[in-house]
Amino acid sequence: MLLQMLNRKEKLKFLDLALHLVSIDGEPSNFEGRILMMMLAEIGDEVASEYTFTLSDDYEKTISFFEESPVTVRNIVFLNISKLPLFDDLYNTKQHFFLEEIRTRFGITDAKKKQLMRLVYDERDLNEKIRRAVNS
């Protein structure tokens, strides 16, 4: 959601952060991989073509980059990062702690987190309603 609003560098850094999240519990699940591919499509071909899906060594540099970004960028990144573990059947507690660290470091309040998470759940629920409607 709204990833197209990010600039080229923000998009690449976002993908790096997303890959760090899905790699916490090993290789990305099939579903996490599909969500990543959908995000990659939203980001656009020009950035997607140069991304290698290689985990960077400098996670701290990526977090610091976003700490200095405008609040809108941090909210978009947190919103989209939050989607990855919640759409998977297995929710790893390490991913929860990872998201909490990002939330804290990005200066996202509990109230804003709840607002953004509600949007993630609403999107997931809408996708499920669509699946049911087309399958019946």
pLDDT for 16-27, tens place per residue?
898 888 778 666
Domains and CATH numbers, the chain: 3-131 (1.10.3680.10)
Asked if 77 and 84 count as a contact pair (C-beta separation under 8 A), the reply is: no
pLDDT for 28-83, tens place per residue?
666 666 777 777 778 877 777 776 666 666 888 999 999 999 999 999 999 999 98
pLDDT above 90 for 130: yes
